[in-house]
Amino acid sequence: SDPDQKRISLQKLNAMVGYAEALTCRRQVLLGYFGEHLEEPCGNCDLCTEPPERFDGTLVAQKALSCVYRVGQRFGMRHVIDVLRGSSQERIVRLGHDQLSTWGVGEEYSDHQWSSFIRQLIHRGFLFQDIANYAVLKLTDKARPILKGEATIELAMPRAIEKKSKKKKK
């Protein structure tokens, strides 16, 4: 019944989902959760032995990182994704985030894809998710070269979610 406890539990659940849905080295994900960073993949986990499809994610990363910066590094993943996808929700309009240059620049990707991209940026140390402060996204020093176009980044394309067919009841 305590709202703060519910919020913390939900954030922990989301972190666990992030681990389960990870597309980067699981050891990097696990260490990232505890604030440590492993530069190279471990080479032993399931994702290192059977890696997902990768692509040059520099532009995607620049969009996400720029959006986090433009919303003042004061909002969580859901809000950032809504801005990137061009949502016209009342809260986004009220805050003026529909006037930002990053509003709607990522409409070609789904919510699921953006969640995956942002989780990858968190796991790899470009973004920090402040769990103690409503899971607000913040840029790290590592994000600067990506934003300035001085570095590139390779991201994994999220795997398609398989929808289970509903069985008809007799």
Give the predicted TM-score (pTM) of the model: 0.75
Whole-angstrom CA distances from 86 to 113, 115, 159, 165 are 15, 15, 23, 31
Q: Is the CB of residue 27 less than 8 Å from the CB of residue 38?
A: yes
Whole-angstrom CA distances from 44 to 21, 28, 41, 53, 91 are 17, 12, 8, 18, 44
Report pLDDT for 168: 61
CA atoms within 13 A on the CB side of 51: 13
As a whole number of angstroms, the distance between CA 77 and CA 4 comes to: 18
Residues of the chain with pLDDT under 50: none
Report pLDDT for 170: 60
Q: What is the DSSP string of 45-99?
A: SHHHHSPPPEEE-HHHHHHHHHHHHHTTT-S-HHHHHHHHTT---HHHHHTTGGG
Report pLDDT for 11: 75
Report pLDDT for 134: 78
The model's pLDDT over 65-83, given as tens digits with 9 standing for 90+, comes to: 999 999 999 999 999 999 9
Report pLDDT for 166: 61
Alpha carbon 153 to its chain's center: 14
